[in-house]
Amino acid sequence: MISDFIKKRLKAFKYAFEGISELWRKEPNTRVHMFFTVAVLIMGFLLKVSAAEFALLVLTIGVVWGMETINSSVERVVDLVTLDKKPLAKAAKDLAAGAVLITAIASVVIGLIIFLPKLIQLFVLNFS
């Protein structure tokens, strides 16, 4: 009984990792997200952000990646239902893409709030 539960959970993880693989292989925007993910994490280490700031950055990164994944899912479901140009299909895809854009903009604002004061202080100290 317990082993069936564990097998089902492991299968669920397998499917989730297959979804991540699908996202990476078929969605060009994942390269952009990965570039900024790595850049933000490196900046966080170099600028010695606090644990709370780092946690917020990681959460923000996760939300953007999650929204990109949901957006890709919506696109595939809409394409499964119809490949014809229909206003509702377009609206569904546009709304999902808009959700990614909203979270990406919010992540930039959060990054600026965290990094800008540290960068200003770094330049003021080094160039004063």
80-106 per-position pLDDT tens digit: 998 889 999 999 999 999 999 999 999
pLDDT in tens, 41-77: 999 999 999 999 999 999 999 999 999 999 999 999 9
List Cβ neighbours of 68 (8 Å cut-off, separation of 6 or more). Answer: 23, 27, 29, 30, 33, 100
The helix or strand, by DSSP H or E, that contains position 4, with its residue range, turns out to be: helix 2-26
CA angle 51, 53, 58 (to 5 degrees): 90
pTM: 0.87
Q: Which residues are catalytic?
A: 68
Asked if 89 contacts 78 with a C-beta cutoff of 8 angstroms, the reply is yes
Domains in the chain (CATH in brackets) are 2-127 (1.10.287.3610)
Which DSSP state fits 109?
Answer: H
Of 34, 26, 39, 107, whose CA–CA distance to 71 is shortest? 26
